Amino acid sequence: MKRTKIVDIFDPALIGSDVSVKGWVRTRRGNKHVQFVALNDGSTIKNIQIVFDMTRFTDEQLKPVTTGSAIHVTGKLVESMGKGQTCEIQADTLEVYGTADPEAYPLQKKGHTLEFLREKAHLRPRTNTFGAVLRIRSALAMAIHRFFQERGFFYLHTPLITASDAEGAGAMFQVTTLDLNDLPRTEDGKIDYSNDFFGKHTSLTVSGQLEGELGATALGAIYTFGPTFRAENSNTPRHLAEFWMIEPEVAFFDIKDNMDLAEDFIKYCVRYALDHCRDDIEFLSQMYDENLVARLESVLKDEFVRLSYSDGIKILEESGKKFEFPVYWGADLSSEHERYLVEEHFKRPVILTDYPKEIKAFYMKQNEDGKTVRAMDVLFPQIGEIIGGSEREESYEKLSKRIEELGIPMKDMWWYLDTRRFGTVPHSGFGLGFERLVLFVTGMTNIRDVIPFPRTPGNAEF
């Protein structure tokens, strides 16, 4: 008999037929006459209840059916009398694939804290919470590809190993095959990277943007979607050392087009999750955050506020609120400032633009005032910065002057500057932190709980 996934078993047309299900036991309870097993196979948050009539099974047969064990059951699907489920399976046959010693299996049925589960990241996908988060994460990845593909963007694969560290977005992880116990040295005592694998110093990328711009100024509109790495020692609920980023880049787009794209993009993803992951979102809402669905829906309904950094600073200064970090023109905003604007002042997402050039990357388009650049950060409730982007400086002169001012080695940047030497055009793009989007949609509060195997300072287990 062909296996039916549990997500498909609640189809009323199947009532009365024989079915075959396979999965992991969540709980078993009952008495000497009848035993009930809640089975989950990961295809849905829902369990199917299996009823064992103990005149047809022995205690010995049911004994290995404990929480965490893997079984195969065939039987008849019938309407259920019990509350909380529409149908159940009256078991005919039972096969045990793998047992799970109750003394050793860590996920017993009582609720575990998220902190405890982080220590068990190899098994936590089997919990309701992580099943829900990981299904939502997968659906959001699909939404992202659909959004861009429907709009004629091309998926560009940018390198993970890079020899330029020009983004300035954060500290980089070095990539080397040199023997760290016996490093080759140049005459002046420095490490001789000409003997390294790539013949030069290389690192893991912090962003695919610079290569993304090469794609956009050829294909017109591209997006990247891949892992990025930052070796900042920031132990916060919003930072990972390895995270996934989506970076669209579009030729002939100005900052206004870029803001429109960012707003449409996030709304599309949130709508997609509400349409495709309703059960999982409702489960998370019940467990952790009763306002989750309302918050997701309000983001869809409201237009994002668009505001300059300077006006944002004014609002913060006039708020009369004591912030941990001081607010003044020129200061980099921290998440308490961002969240004040979004959650308390405007009560909806905010796109902040035109930041001081000193706190933004070298490639952003310089404004006439000589002080600000055409940056845009999208700020979200609960999250703070979810997107960072800008219109790009397309003038070769202005860009190379800025590169010089900042002391970025020109020799590493020649290929990037060529986009401005040959057929340069106005263009714009942004980066969305995938895990921050998943955080928002799931209502989770720690970024370690929305990626299967988080990489953070001091933690690379699993």
Burial class of 367 by CB neighbour count within 10 A (0 to 12, 13 to 18, 19+): middle
Tell me how far, at minimum, the Cβ of 181 lies from ligand 4AD, in Å.
31
Tell me how far, at minimum, the Cβ of 372 lies from Mg ion, in Å.
16
Tell me how far, at minimum, the Cβ of 392 lies from ligand 4AD, in Å.
8
Residues at the interface with Mg ion (CB under 5 A): 388
Cβ-based nearer residue to ligand 4AD, 277 or 439: 439
User: CB under 8 Å to 134, separation ≥6 — which residues?
Assistant: 125, 452
349 is in the binding site of which of Mg ion, ligand 4AD, none (Cβ under 5 to 8 A by kind)? none
Cβ-based nearer residue to ligand 4AD, 164 or 207: 207
Radius of gyration over alpha carbons of the chain, in Å? 27
Spatial CA neighbour of 424 closest among 396, 389, 391: 396
User: CB under 8 Å to 159, separation ≥6 — which residues?
Assistant: 205, 208, 211
Cβ-based nearer residue to ligand 4AD, 333 or 386: 386
Residue nearest to Mg ion (CB): 388
Q: Which two tokens stand for residue 93?
A: 């046959």
H helices then E strands: how many in the chain? Answer: 12, 16
91 is in the binding site of which of Mg ion, ligand 4AD, none (Cβ under 5 to 8 A by kind)? none
Cβ-based nearer residue to ligand 4AD, 389 or 443: 389
Cβ-based nearer residue to ligand 4AD, 65 or 121: 121
Query: What is the bridge-based pairing of β-strands 87-98 and 70-79?
Result: antiparallel
Residues at the interface with ligand 4AD (CB under 6 A): 167, 169, 207, 209, 230, 239-240, 243, 245, 247, 385-389, 429-431, 433, 435-436
Q: What is the spatial distance between Cα 75 and Cα 63, in angstroms, rounded to a whole number? A: 19
304 is in the binding site of which of ligand 4AD, Mg ion, none (Cβ under 5 to 8 A by kind)? none
Looking at the DSSP bridge assignments, the partners of residue 244 are 227
Tell me how far, at minimum, the Cβ of 241 lies from Mg ion, in Å.
16
CB 165 within 8 A of CB 225: no
Burial class of 329 by CB neighbour count within 10 A (0 to 12, 13 to 18, 19+): exposed
Tell me how far, at minimum, the Cβ of 192 lies from ligand 4AD, in Å.
31
Give buried/exposed letters for 81-115 (b at 16+ CB in 10 A, else e): eeeeeebbbebeebebeebbeeeeeebeeeebebe
Cβ-based nearer residue to Mg ion, 436 or 448: 436
Cβ-based nearer residue to ligand 4AD, 41 or 249: 249
Tell me how far, at minimum, the Cβ of 340 lies from ligand 4AD, in Å.
18
Please give the angle made by the CA atoms of 22, 26 and 27, to the nearest 5 degrees.
120
Tell me how far, at minimum, the Cβ of 169 lies from Mg ion, in Å.
7
